[in-house]
Amino acid sequence: MDILYIYIFIAGTIFGSFFDCLANRLSNNESIIKPRSHCDVCGHVLNWYELIPILSYFMQKGKCKKCKSNLSIEYLLTEVITGILFCLSYYIFGLTINTLISLVVVSVIVITFISDAKYMIILDEVLVIGSLLVMGIYAIAGEYTTLLNMFIGALSLSVIMLLIKVLGDKAFKRESLGWGDVKLSMFAGLVLGVKLGVVYIFLGSVLALPYAMYITLKKKEGLLPFGPFLAAAILFIFWNMDKIEKLINIIIGVQP
């Protein structure tokens, strides 16, 4: 086994811990610096050994050291999943520029998944920073043609999603899509381009359909957080760009 996977996984768990904090604090308009990490129940300020990703959770048996209240499994899952996604990025792309892009995409998606699933918020700060990082990586690599295609993709996909929102709002006489979904689609267009961006909209809708049907059958009220499904679609398509593009070309009859 490549020892680099171990380092990447450890780095992923550390970032995952930070991403969880970021998603929760920014969604609640709280500072990411102060106060220090603490127990949400008793306010106990965590020591450094209580902040070790994954290990601290098991060392404390999933409970706060002071008040013994149960710690949210969300912390552990975010750390583990982010570590795995970081490793998969390296496995799929190796030591290439796409690995760096994939790490940025994973970061944006993990934070967006948490913030939208819990608070129905897609954070502008995360999308802006993610977009700037992606463009910066391509700029440093001298991929200026790619940068132009990215701008076209971002503009095109955001317009498409905006039209879907406007038509959906009128058809259902209520908010069909949040503005955060439109902004997330701009990031998707930046990363995927126009052609794959259309696939992203379709795949995100397909992924959301079972949950939407469940809510309908259970007659539960409230808006469906679409962001997590769109985020998952971005990552799946980015990891399989070549295969999906070949499939699209076969369907539309374009010779490779």
pLDDT score at 223:
60
Q: Are residues 129 and 91 in the same domain?
A: no
Q: Of 61, 95, 129, which residue constitutes the final position of a domain? A: 95
104 in a domain, yes or no? Answer: no
Q: Are residues 90 and 132 in the same domain?
A: no
109 in a domain, yes or no? Answer: no
Q: Are residues 253 and 186 in the same domain?
A: yes
Q: Of 30, 61, 95, which residue constitutes the final position of a domain? A: 95
pLDDT score at 220:
60
Phi/psi region, residue 153 (left: phi>0; alpha: psi -120 to 50; beta: rest), is: alpha
Q: Are residues 30 and 130 in the same domain?
A: no
Q: Are residues 165 and 77 in the same domain?
A: no
pLDDT score at 66:
74
pLDDT score at 35:
75
Q: Are residues 85 and 129 in the same domain?
A: no
- Residue 158: name the closest of 119, 107, 200 by CA: 200
pLDDT score at 91:
95
Phi/psi region, residue 29 (left: phi>0; alpha: psi -120 to 50; beta: rest), is: left
105 in a domain, yes or no? Answer: no
Phi, psi of 107 (to 5 degrees): -60, -45
pLDDT single digits (tens) 189-218: 999 998 899 999 999 989 988 877 777 676
Q: Which segments of the chain have a pLDDT < 50? A: none
Q: Are residues 63 and 127 in the same domain?
A: no
114 in a domain, yes or no? Answer: no
pLDDT score at 221:
57
Residue 33 lies in domain: 1-95
Q: Are residues 29 and 153 in the same domain?
A: no
161 in a domain, yes or no? Answer: yes
pLDDT score at 156:
92
DSSP annotation of 96 reads: S
107 in a domain, yes or no? Answer: no
- Residue 114: name the closest of 81, 90, 83 by CA: 81
113 in a domain, yes or no? Answer: no
| Residue 135 vs residues 15, 111, 121, 187, 197: alpha-carbon distances, Å | 21, 19, 24, 11, 17
pLDDT score at 24:
92
pLDDT score at 218:
66
Element at 12 (helix H, strand E): helix 3-27
Q: Which residues pair with 63 in a beta bridge?
A: 70
pLDDT score at 113:
94
Contact (CB, 8 A) for 41 and 64: yes
77 in a domain, yes or no? Answer: yes
**Number of structural domains in the chain:** 2
Q: Are residues 193 and 236 in the same domain?
A: yes
